[in-house]
Structures are given as structure tokens and as C-alpha cells.
Amino acid sequence: MRLCCGVRTVYLDYNATTPLDAAVREAMTPALEGAFGNPSSVHHVGQRARRMLDESRERVADVFGCKPSEVLFTSGATESVNLAVLGAARSLRAKGRHIVSSEMEHAAVLEACEYLAKNEGFSLSLVAPDSSGLISVDSVAAALRPDTILVSIVGANNEVGTIQPVSEIGALCSQRGICFHVDAAQWLGKLPFSSIHQFHADLVSFCAHKFHGPKGAGGLFVRSPLQISPILYGGSHEYERRAGTENLPAILGLAKAVDLFVRDPVFNPALLSPMADHLLRLVDSIPATTFRGHRTARLPNTVSFTVAGADSISLLAGLDLEGICASSGSACSSGSITPSRVVSAMGASLEESHSLVRFSIGRENAPSDIDTVHNSLPHIIARALSAHKVWTGVSTSVHGP
């Protein structure tokens, strides 16, 4: 725990972002100092930057077990997802205009798919999860049509941590000749990784700041010989698939983070699972709360729950007053009071969907941090429910451990 404004901070929002690793920061330094050139410039300063860019791509490709030309650098997972979904759909539309995704996806996937359906003549089928957030292979198979050209399924959900059977779904798509995209932003650094081919995917998006790399750096694996249409224009960068001068310092950091933390996941389940299990037992012990997610097939660092008769804003504010940093789900929706689309899809009521809280643990956490939550959470929930009772006149109660 760290002191901030006199309050000890317990940071439990690692699915939102992670602190920059010291070795990653050091790896970025050359591009922030001497190697400041534009990699597209022909002079020696630019070519020094080009060599660093090429070496970074080769390092990522070595960890992924793919060709360097199959690795594209972007500004982050959101851009990578948009490039995958929009770029693949547009390049393949002569074969069909049907897209399959799920109700468990990050907004970057869902909104890109919905844009295509609303504005470019595509049709979209969203597969529903079960109550644990799991998408079955059979449900994806049932959604496929002769004109399906793209399937996009998240590897692990960011809000509740449920791990999807993407390898099996990818094999199904491969058998049908359908392009398959995996949003692996929450997978890399947290779950076992042998090679990028374990997903059986044509497209895999990821970003660095989810596993102790810098913000502003992401990537997209594009299986050769697939060609996708660019969504940015104005240059021939990244094999003419992503225009714009490369963010070399961030790319150096991304490559270092991939090298350090993907093959041997930095989110070590042996260390994190006992703390997550403690949180899960705590959530189960409070009558007003409902655990959301899969109890076994979930990220080893993630525990999410809803509180009937409360809302996320009051719960997160109460946690923050105690120095505990948590989230209501996607960090891209922070400040929003709209209900969680993910939790609603899992069968939660509208009221419960307004009250999602996510704890996501990281390597800097210690059991004492979880003890702080254990001692504070029941009282925080009780205060939130009491406030709700004052405003609505509804009788609520909670009993902590």
C-alpha cells in the first residue's frame, strides 16, 4: 500500500491499467533521448530509429511465434480492435456482410460492429452468454450463416473476468473459412501463452499498459496472407495498414513488456489467486452482494459483484474514501452511470446492473491489502444501502462477516 494525501492507497484496478515497469521505462529511454528521429526519414538519425522499430517488431514476433510482417503497431487496444473489425469487414464484404460477436465484448468491439450494421449495410448477430458470462462454442456455431465473414470474441472479459473458449471458437471459424478476431487485451500477461497461434485467430488485438507497459502503445496480429483495409490514411506506415509516424518510445516499451511479461505471465496466479479467493469468500459472505462471473474460468486476479439496492458511484466513492481503488467495469466507461451491458447480458436486473464493482489484483498487492478490503467493504456497502433507503424509503440490510 502507498500513502496518498494521508490515506493509505490499496490499488485494485489492474484491469484498467498497470504501473509502468522500471525495466520497460529504461527500454524506452533511447527513443526519448538520442534516437529521436522519424523512422521514415532516410538520414542516419531516422534510420537509427528505423532499426529500433524493426528490432521491436522482431522481438514481439519472436514471443508470438509469428512473422514480423504479421505484427502491426497501433496506439492501443481500441485502435487495434477498430482496425481488426472495420478493416476485416470492409476487405471481405464481397464475400458476405454478416458479422457475429457477443454481448460480453468491450465497447470498442461492439460499437465498431454496430457502426458497420448501422452505416455500411452489414448485419450483426450478438451471441448471449450464460449467467456466468460464458459464451459457448455451440451458440457461436448456431449464429453462423453462409454469408458470415467475421466473428469477434473477447479472450477474457474485462468487467467480470470470464475466460472464453476462443481456441475452440477459432477452430470452428477456421473450418468454416470465416475470419476470426480475438480481443486479447486482458489475456496477455494474465493467462498462459505459448504462441499467438493458440487462439486459432486471424486477428488478435492487444495493448501494453495492461501488463506494465506504456499507455499509447498497442498491436494487432494479422495472419498472413489476410489483407485488411486501413482505417487511417496519410502514409504507408505499418505495411500500408496504419498511417502515422510510429510512437517509437512507446513501441520500445511495448516490445520490452511483451518480452518480459507475456510468455511468463506477470500476473502470477500462484500469488494472486489466494488473494482473489479471499475476496470471493468475502463477497459471498455479504447477503446483499452477488458475485458476477465464472467461479473457475475467470482471470486469476478478478472478482466482480453487484449490490442490490445500491449503485456503483456510491460504492466506489465509499471505497475511495477508505483508500481503495476499484472500478465499475470498463475504465473506458468511468464516470458513466449507465448500467453494465455485460452484467445485464448475464441476467442481472436493471437495478443490479447499476451496481457493479470490480476488484482486479496485481503484482504490487499483498495479503494485507485484501485484509483492508475485508475490514472495510461490509461497512461501505451498509452505508450505501442506508443512503439508498433514505432516498427511496426501501428497507435494506446487510450483515458483514
Number of other CB atoms surrounding residue 101 within 10 Å? 26
Report the C-alpha gap between 39 and 189 in whole angstroms. Answer: 28
> Phi and psi of 136, rounded to 5°?
-85, 150
Closest CA to 311 of 396, 381, 399: 381
- The phi, psi pair for 9, rounded to 5°, reads -95, 130
322: left (phi over 0), alpha (psi -120 to 50) or beta: alpha
Q: For CA atoms 328, 329, 333, 337, give the dihedral sign.
A: negative
Buried b / exposed e across 273-283, counting CB within 10 Å, b at 16+? eebbebbbebb
Active-site positions? Answer: 332
Which amino acid type is present at position 119? Answer: N
Contact predicate 311/337, CB 8 Å: yes
